[in-house]
Structure 1
């Protein structure tokens, strides 16, 4: 059981850190043509940028399918990636971008920090001027107390 939990945590952490790298160097680099749809106003529920979620979700599904018969590390890493994807959807798409109006603005200080970091990321719609590329690991300055 400890091994399973360790691989879930590893899959989750791998998504945060590879996601940061992919976001900063690929999405705001050669894949900007796809990602820029996320930085522009949209009249549609879906945007071309959602293809990245399909890609990451596919990696999780493949790992789960490859490891399900033995319940080996691939299965548990796929579960960690899936957990990350679920929380990404809730935090990023529902809470921050309000694609679904399920929650109000966050009141928890950790969630407020994530919210502020993502707002800072979207202050520009340009490829090169963005800051804060992670979802859970964001600079400390976004967790400082805000006005009361």
Structure 2
């Protein structure tokens, strides 16, 4: 399995076509200290792994690899999203269809976070507790 992450201003996964519709895609530098963003995740899954379920964690860390914390339910919690990945294409796929990996994607819309200017951050995608992809970004210092 391969995974790729792209940061964008907004994105939406189309369940009907499997396509990802993105606006302001592939940025790594922002002027806003509280950017609204979407983390778009793209997966390439071999047919042999199609029916296997995988757990994932998408987490935000700072330049020192420490979890970024955000207020949640009266306390601070790491900024992370967890879920299960399951891809099913059906057993009746012919040999022609199986000539390429299965492409799948999902989007996680992130509410504005209180992040510091002049700092670097990184989104990390772990699948089955192994890091598969990351995307870093920095916030310009208004100095």
TM-score range, shorter chain: under 0.3
Larger fraction in helix: 1
User: With CA pairs under 8 Å and 6+ residues apart, which has the higher RCO, 1 or 2?
Assistant: 2
Q: If each structure's strand is expressed as a fraction of its own residues, which one has the higher value?
A: 2
